[in-house]
Amino acid sequence: MAKYDDFSKEELIELLQKQDKELSLKKYGLVWDSEKCPEQVVVDCAKKLPILKNVSEKDIKTDDNDDNILIEGDNYHALQVLNYTHKEKIDVIYIDPPYNTGNKDFIYNDKFVDKEDGYRHSKWLNFMEKRLELAKELLKDDGVIFISIDEHEQANLNLLCDKIFGADNFIENIVWDKKAGAKGVPPLNMMVNVHEYIVAYTKGGKFKFQGEKRNTEQDGFKNPDNDPRGPWRESNIKSTTIPKDRAFTITDPSTGKEYTNTWAFSKDTLEKMIQEGRILWKNNLPKQKEYLREMTHENKAIKSTWGVFDAQSTTVFLKDLIPNAKFDNPKPLSLMQYLISVSTSKSDLILDFFAGSGTTGHAILEQNKQDGGNRRFILCTNNEGNIATDVCYPRIQKVIQGYNKKDSGEFVEGLGGNLKYFKTDFVNNSKNTTQTKINLAKECSEMICLKTGRFNQINCNCSTFKIFSNNIKDQYTCIYFDCFDADMDNFVTEVQKLNGKKDLYIFSLTDSVDNFLFNGIPDTNVEAIPYKILDLYRRIAKAHIKGSDND
């Protein structure tokens, strides 16, 4: 009981009440220790509110397509921003979080969590829970999340995701091999672990894989008899699930031989197939011709075991691309490109908030080049060890724009694409609520631009409002962030000059704006700022920060 000696009576009561509440809500599932030492990046949000700042000198523009996004900063702060800008807009999330091996791969409050830490798994679960809760809100109803993991936390991760996404929304634990075989000195137990997992959950049960493109030869489709209906393969017509008392007889019209069995088709359907020459009369059991052109899906279903993907080639590539880069164990580029190819459509938006060296972004650009897609990505990474500035950004920059190989000097053509670079920053959460609203309204322009996808500022000399457009003509984002109405007439005049869709974000101390000034302006949508942002942050704080104020 010594660990409770320093608790006050009120703290003990609060602890008991929390435990009673948790136990009353839990049946079968995962129970772990509450945070003894709260995560500092989360606690900080009680005093400061995350925003974004564009680092324009790192922006990349090669065409008129939509922008990809790279956010440098702690992913907890980035996810809060994205909950405002991209709520229910993300098609696919892929993350490669710390595996919590105890081998200096997981940092919690600026300290590595080692194997001897009694709260090692609880720290990891608390760390992941908050981020996955925020991530869930970003997914579309038919969205999916893929999480790389190994045996150290795979079982816990599944139970945690059951809690957050729902057990019914579990898709699969995908297995892939990082080695082709057992090499080196044999371990004591004579078994070498060569695989990792990708845990997959959908949000609303509607997600389906795109599947894998069919290979006519590999999938057994041939046309040895020059059938005018094209390539075919043998397929069973016998059913193993229909009761024996429902068996019936079919007859080979050429030989008169009869076959009695339980069939997967009705008698009428089989008679029609016989007339059309679709039945192969084998000696023991007839089969059918299954035609390639009649397959229900253009692609074939994929297996949950994906074979071997070599990370060494990606390591070599990174060293050639960025010679001084220091990054261990990058995910294989081939693995990520395969995941993108079988799970995304050509216009999907993909988020990776443990972006590391940027493999996900690279894979998306490669897949777009290969199939003509216009997928976009949002990458979030902190800058520990300069990973954002010295590895992730240079990698994306070079694969977009092209680069010279280190050894040969040969120029490799870029894959194309655009990138907007942001850093997380903060606004003080003042005890004076009005002042907080004023501060946040003045600094939220870049968040709103990210929300609307319009980054081209078309007025640059006004201190009270900003107007932005995008590559599509006649779409505008107009932000009036001044707490006074001294320049409102000028703002209205500028808005009236715009032809097309106009989203207006107007400063207000409440959640509404008096629309009378804009009633005569067509194609106009008006929203108060910063109410929705502040309300969102306070709801997140209430859920994640002990003793937070939600007034």
User: Which residue is associated with the tokens 């050894």?
Assistant: 407
pLDDT of 27 higher than 80: no
pLDDT bucket at 21, cuts 50 / 70 / 90: confident
User: For position 335, what pLDDT does the model report?
Assistant: 96
User: For position 292, what pLDDT does the model report?
Assistant: 84
The better pLDDT of the pair 313, 481 is held by: 481
For range 116-134, the mean pLDDT: 92
User: For position 170, what pLDDT does the model report?
Assistant: 96
Mean pLDDT of the chain: 89
pLDDT bucket at 435, cuts 50 / 70 / 90: very high
User: For position 26, what pLDDT does the model report?
Assistant: 61
For range 172-200, the mean pLDDT: 87
Q: Which amino acid is at 375?
A: R
Q: With contact defined as beta carbons under 8 Å apart, do 430 and 421 qualify? A: no
User: For position 33, what pLDDT does the model report?
Assistant: 67
- The residue among 383, 214, 402, 359 whose CA lies nearest residue 292 is 214
For range 409-431, the mean pLDDT: 92
Lowest-pLDDT choice from 5-19, 105-119, 359-373: 5-19
The H or E element that residue 532 is part of is helix 531-544
**Where would I find the H helices in 95-140?**
120-138
For range 154-158, the mean pLDDT: 95
pLDDT bucket at 88, cuts 50 / 70 / 90: very high
Q: ∠ at Cα 201 (195, 205), nearest 5°?
A: 145
Cα 527 to Cα 251: distance, rounded to the nearest angstrom: 73
pLDDT of 524 higher than 70: yes
Q: What is the dihedral of CA 16, 20, 26, 30, to 10 degrees?
A: 10
Model confidence over 219-239: pLDDT tens digits? 788 999 999 999 999 999 999
Cα 484 to Cα 481: distance, rounded to the nearest angstrom: 9
User: Which residue is associated with the tokens 């993350």?
Assistant: 95
Helix, strand, coil abundance in the chain, percent, nearest 5: 35, 25, 40
- The residue among 210, 214, 141 whose CA lies nearest residue 375 is 210
The better pLDDT of the pair 361, 474 is held by: 361
pLDDT bucket at 3, cuts 50 / 70 / 90: low
Secondary structure (DSSP) of 258-295: EEEE-BSS-HHHHHHHHHTT-EE--SSS-EEEEEGGG-
pLDDT bucket at 2, cuts 50 / 70 / 90: low
For the chain, percent of residues with pLDDT exceeding 90: 62
User: For position 69, what pLDDT does the model report?
Assistant: 98
User: For position 550, what pLDDT does the model report?
Assistant: 44
User: For position 551, what pLDDT does the model report?
Assistant: 41
Cα 360 to Cα 491: distance, rounded to the nearest angstrom: 41
The better pLDDT of the pair 184, 548 is held by: 184
User: For position 76, what pLDDT does the model report?
Assistant: 97
For range 502-521, the mean pLDDT: 89
pLDDT bucket at 1, cuts 50 / 70 / 90: very low
For the chain, percent of residues with pLDDT exceeding 70: 95
pLDDT of 325 higher than 90: no
